Structure formats: structure tokens, C-alpha cells
Amino acid sequence: MRVIADFDDDDVSLAEEFRQQSLMNRAKLHPGREGSPGRLRRSQRALLNSAGGHTFSSDLLASRFGFSDRYLRVPHARELPQANVLPDRIVAGDTITVGFLGTMRSHKGLPEILRALRADPTLRFVTFRQPGLTVPPDLAERWRELDPATPLGTAYSMISVALVPMDPASRGACAQLPAKAIDAAMFGKTIVGTPTPVMREYFDHRAIWLEDWATLGDTLRAATASGILQQHATAMRSLAEETFTTDVVRTAVATYLEDVFERTGRGENPRRPTARRVIPRAGQPRE
């Protein structure tokens, strides 16, 4: 059967964590409701067993589904912007402008961002206006909300660094590849993030990793003075060109599909071990 099963999140873990947050959430995702952990597991199992090919957003996520080969790692893909949008100066006067240009949630590091901003009054913050997000009164003067229709290139031109904090205690968050991290790479922005397994898998030495977000300001000033911040920005753009563009992903997917159709046409078990085709990591030659 020519069905491709594609997974980009550990939805079961996210659903379980949602249920654990409150009694109301347990009621919302009761066992009989669509989206509950049990129903998700059954749906995923049926899809996995019927598919002839399998794609995952990360190697970590593939391993959670029991795969070590015969799958394709497919990240989010973007058209490559014509140029980086770095501001003229990373540090303007005594301030550093940082941004979180995605949907803000607790498991996506909102508490860490608040901690960083409150610990250092020289930090300025940019994000998109979004439902359910209230600007803390004590940070209002340093917090800029953009209209959601603002082009990404314009938004990224306003910041020096992209923040990608995550909750390392969240099993669901640890398996996520945030789209905003891909966007940051596309626009040549240095990422400061939480070193979750999937973030490490993709960005490794190209990002600045923080365990204590109260040190964000000091970390950025040190990285600016040493030139590391600019080096990371250049490395991120190179990573985007090698890994996240639509051309790279399209070629890898097309090659994988040809292999899947050939194997299923011969009646082979799609999960039988074989050499794995992947989008090459940065620095690796393409097949």
C-alpha cells in the first residue's frame, strides 16, 4: 500500500502532559474523546502498520516509534530568503533586542523568557501578538508586540538573537523541532536555546545553549565581545542552505518515495532493516 506515515510531534506525550495539568484538562481529553492519549496510540499504530513508508521530523522521534532505519528524517522546509536580515549592530547602546517569533506556551519556554527579561533590564523583547498572551505590566516598556501579519523578514530584522527556550522536563517538548528555529536559521539569526535532544540533533555547536535563563544578558554580551554571536549567525545560515530549504527536502523526499515504491512493488516489508536515506547533516556530502 502506497501510504506514507508522517510524524512531526510526540502527540501522545503532549496529550498526556496536557491531561496532567488540571482536572479540567482531564475532562477535555477523556479516554473516549478524539485526541486523547489512548485514541492517539491506536490511530498511530494503525497508520504505522498500514504505511509503506515512514517519515519523522527527527531521529529521536523515529526512535520513539521503534525505528532505527528505513525511514526519512524530514524537517520543516522553507524557501531560502535572498539575504540575511541582521541588524546593523547586535548591541545598540546598552540594550540587546531578542525575539521569540512563534506561539508562546509554558512548555515552549515562556517562564524562561520572563525570567531572563526580569533578570536583565538591558534586554528588549519582540514577539507576535497572540490570543491568551498578556504582556506583564513590569515588562511592558521593553516588550514589543507585532501584528501577526508582519512578514517574517521584517520581524527578524528587528531582533539580534532568536530565543528558543523549551521545558526540558517535558517529554513532548523534548521531541519537538520548533518551526521558529528553522525560521531563525533561514534569516541567519543566532539561536539561544534549551539543549533538548532534538535541538541538539539539528543545531548542536551552532547555537548558544542555556540552562539558567537568568544569565541570558551576560551570555549575549560575552558572545558579542568574542565574535561568537556573529560566527553562529553565519553558521545558522549555512545550515539552513544545507538542510532546511525546500529544494533539499524535496529531493530527499522524492528519492525516498522512489525507494518505498520500488520496495512495496516487490512486496517487501517496509520496516525490514536496510540502509537509511536521510537529508544529509550539515557538512555531510549529499548522495
Dihedral of alpha carbons 35, 38, 41, 45, sign:
negative
pLDDT of 273 reads: 39
Question: For residue 89, what pLDDT is reported?
Answer: 46
Is the Cα dihedral 75, 77, 82, 87 positive or negative?
negative
Whole-number mean pLDDT of the chain?
86
pLDDT value for 111: 87
For the stretch 3-61, pLDDT in tens is: 899 999 999 999 999 999 899 999 998 888 888 999 999 999 999 988 989 999 999 99
Q: Which residues contact 258 (CB under 8 A, 6 or more apart)?
A: none
Strand partners, 132: none
Q: CA separation (Å) from 172 to 23, 60, 85, 166, 197?
A: 20, 11, 32, 10, 11
Express each pLDDT in 90-126 by its tens digit.
444 568 899 999 887 766 678 889 999 999 999 999 9
What are the pLDDT digits (tens) for 119-158? 999 999 999 998 888 899 999 999 999 999 999 999 999 9
Q: What are the start-end ranges of the E strands in 66-114?
A: 72-73, 91-92, 95-100
Per-residue pLDDT at 84: 56
Q: What is the DSSP letter of 215?
A: G
Give the dihedral of Cα atoms 223, 86, 232, 9; nearest 10 deg.
120
Q: What percent of the chain has pLDDT over 70?
A: 86
For residue 163, list its beta bridge partners.
192
pLDDT band, very low/low/confident/very high, at 278 (cuts 50, 70, 90): very low
* Each residue's pLDDT tens digit, 163-217: 999 888 999 999 999 999 999 999 999 999 999 999 999 999 999 999 899 999 9
**What is the distance between the alpha carbons of residues 286 and 258, in angstroms, rounded to a whole number?**
17
Distance CA 134, CA 241 (A): 36
Ordered structural domains, the chain, with CATH? 4-77+245-265 (no CATH), 91-243 (3.40.50.2000)
Radius of gyration of the chain (CA): 20
